[in-house]
A and B are shown apart, each in its own frame.
Chain A
């Protein structure tokens, strides 16, 4: 059993062992940033439930079974495994990472259109270190000043842990006014057969002025041993650009999935995010979005489907810093058996952000008496020229609807499927990309058909 002290010792020693092998280790700004990050983690330790942000996810309870960092077992994954896990292959530019490490063999990037760069942080740190420094160089400056007001806690220590230990993940750079036709598909596979694995995928997407891009992140895999995915995705949407950002979080039940998305929107830009989670024993998906320029447009959606003992936490924070911005959030959870789901979402309208609009909605469907949902939508409005609304519901399947369908000859199983599909379909159909909607529907059918 590891104590908090021994966790610290472990990470400190581990960082010492790997730091000189990390990409860009010779870059002074980067090694300084990594050192600051590991120190911050060692100072803070794991986030605890005493912090409002982590009220629903108890890391400490789980920390005894925290895996040690494992070696990347890239060779254990076959192409057919990937295909099977993906359900279908959406035509895309695909990069595959196994336990956080790029796997050329399984990737299928295809022909990239002019103006789209799809590479790894390792390469980018060699080719364009100044660009990387802009986004990776001052994590604390960026995070504290941009994402935290004086009353806000710093981003949690798991972000710091990723920043210190990540071997670097994909970097996507879209040039000004370029709109790739195909989505970019990042597949993160976890393999944890013999020993536990902790992976630290870190993704960077930069959408240049007036560009438009679709990104799908898929987290799959699993194994016999408990393992942890601690992901960090940074998205920068420049003036007038559009980013459609989807995620499927579908690892096995031995997985511990923590993820943080940090999104910055310049003026007139659009960010549309949707997270579909049905995997992991414990998962927490966090999104922090900041509307820094005027007329930013943000959609944050989520679907979480849980059963067994799954715990699924969703945490969002949107800051309207500039005027005329709009945010829409819709999170829906379906929880069966003993699953637990949580939604905590805050939209903060800053004093300068006049004429802002925000809508927040969280709905939960409990399919069993033992399932539980926590919901806390929150608006913090610091000026009086805004239109904001929020709401949440927790309920079971509508018995009237169920009976109506059955009275028409639809058996109970099919009737339930239709009704639950309709419930989550409202979120799925908000996705701007039709192929992604179809993909999410398939994932839903697969999830539903596995009901015991």
Chain B
């Protein structure tokens, strides 16, 4: 499904990823954990195609093709989705316009028929219900004035509507209280499918109590330094990241 090979990336001349290797199969859910500054968010952004990262070496192969040359919108069309750690506020654009524009751009590119206003509303209502969101969220400006929990739920709503085949969730648990966390996790679990892979990036093990990963990796100083099953997350929670602080150099 997706393979990251020897990925080296720098920001403003500073090396952040120093040879990441990761292979995620169809339907698998992997978690990448690591201390602050280990390169977790850089990994998420590089996967989504954000500007400002120099890929010095390595490749990301998705469905047998390299992703690196593709613009962010092309990656989205191909089925890549990033749930942002800090969802962006877009003043003046309603959530409904935003979602419908995005869904129809992606559907058109995938050769699917675009949603009419009515079809769109029908689809989005179902997804809203699953996330315990109200329709009122559609008329609000994108993420403007949203609470932390609302923003994260809005990310999962977008994911549900865009039907990606590979989703990256960057610190989706940050800023959430336990109730909001359960709702978001529940929403993500409902989206797990045998043909949809996910990569969950998180600092804490907490989220992984609710979204159970197939594999857990530790990212430190720009490299995967350890991989294991879900029990690795528990171990990290107990011991912390101190044993990796000197690693990978």
Interface string of B160-186 (1 = CB under 8 A from A): 001000000000000000000000000
Q: Which of A4-12, A147-155, A179-187, A398-406 contacts the other chain?
A: A398-406
**B213 within 8 Å of A (CB atoms):** no
Which one of B71, B73, B92, B105 lies within 8 Å of A422 (CB-CB)?
Answer: B92
CB of A419 within 8 Å of the partner chain: yes
Task: Give A334 Cβ to nearest chain B Cβ, in Å.
Answer: 13
Q: Is B66 an interface residue (CB 8 A)?
A: no
A410 touches B101 (CB 8 A): yes
| Neighbouring B residues of A414 by C-beta, 8 Å | 101, 105
Are B93's CB and A407's CB within 8 A? no
Pick from A403, A414, A419 the residue with the most CB of B within 10 Å.
A403
**Quick check: is B187 within 8 A (CB to CB) of the other chain?**
no
Q: Is the CB of A406 within 8 A of B73?
A: yes
Q: Is B90 an interface residue (CB 8 A)?
A: yes
A418 touches B93 (CB 8 A): yes
- Collect the chain A residues with CB atoms within 8 Å of residue B102's CB: 405, 408-410
Distance (Å) between the CB of A396 and the closest chain B CB? 14
Question: Does A433 sit at the interface, judged by CB under 8 A?
Answer: no
Do A419 and B93 touch across chains, with their CB atoms under 8 A apart? yes
Does A425 count as interface, using CB distance less than 8 angstroms? yes
User: Does A352 count as interface, using CB distance less than 8 angstroms?
Assistant: no
* Nearest chain A CB to B151 CB, angstrom units: 12
Can you name the residue of chain B whose Cβ is closest to the Cβ of A399?
B51
Among residues of B, the one whose C-beta sits closest to the C-beta of A403 is: B50
Q: How far is the CB of B204 from chain A (nearest CB, A)?
A: 24
**Does A426 have its Cβ within 8 Å of any Cβ on chain B?**
yes
| B71, B72, B87: residue with the most chain A Cβ atoms closer than 10 Å | B72
Most A C-beta atoms less than 10 A away, residue of B73, B81, B91 = B73
- Which of A406, A411, A412, A422 lies in contact with B93, CB distance below 8 A? A422
Number of A-B contacts (CB under 8 A): 75
- Expressed in whole angstroms, the Cα–Cα distance for A17 and B246 within the complex equals 93
A350 at the interface (CB under 8 A from B): no
Q: Which residues of B contact A405 (CB under 8 A)?
A: 90, 98, 101-102
Known A-B contacts A409-B162, A410-B73, A422-B92; A404 and B84 likewise in contact (beta carbons under 8 Å): yes
How distant is the Cα of A168 from the Cα of B167 in the complex, in angstroms?
67
A445 to chain B, nearest CB (A): 14
* CA gap between A195 and B180 in the complex, in Å: 71
Interface assignment of B9: CB less than 8 Å from any CB of chain A: no
A29 lies within 8 A of chain B by Cβ:
no
- Interface residue ranges of A17-48 to B (CB < 8 Å): none
By beta carbon, the residue of chain B nearest A422 is: B92
Contact among A407, A412, A418, A422 for B48, CB-based, below 8 A: A407
Q: Is B82 an interface residue (CB 8 A)?
A: yes
B88 CB within 8 Å of chain A: yes
Interface flag for A15 (CB, 8 Å): no
Q: Which residues of A contact B101 (CB under 8 A)?
A: 405, 410, 414, 418
Does A54 make an interface contact (CB < 8 A)?
no
What distance in Å separates the Cβ of B179 from its nearest Cβ neighbour in chain A?
26
Query: Contacting A407 at CB < 8 Å: which of B72, B90, B91, B109?
Result: B72
B222 within 8 A of A: no
B141's nearest neighbour on chain A, judged by CB, is A422
- In the assembled complex, 18 residue pairs joining A and B whose CB atoms fall closer than 8 Å, in A order, are A401-B88, A406-B71, A406-B72, A406-B73, A407-B73, A407-B75, A407-B76, A407-B82, A407-B84, A408-B105, A409-B77, A410-B102, A411-B73, A414-B105, A415-B73, A419-B90, A422-B92, A425-B92
B contact set with A: CB distance below 8 Å: 48-51, 71-73, 75-77, 81-82, 84, 87-93, 97-98, 101-102, 105-106, 109, 158, 162
Chain A residues proximal to chain B, CB less than 8 Å: 399-401, 403-412, 414-415, 418-419, 421-423, 425-426
Beyond A400-B88, A406-B72, A426-B91, 15 additional contacts (C-beta under 8 Å) are: A399-B51, A403-B72, A404-B87, A404-B90, A405-B102, A406-B73, A407-B72, A408-B73, A408-B76, A408-B162, A410-B102, A414-B105, A422-B90, A422-B92, A423-B92
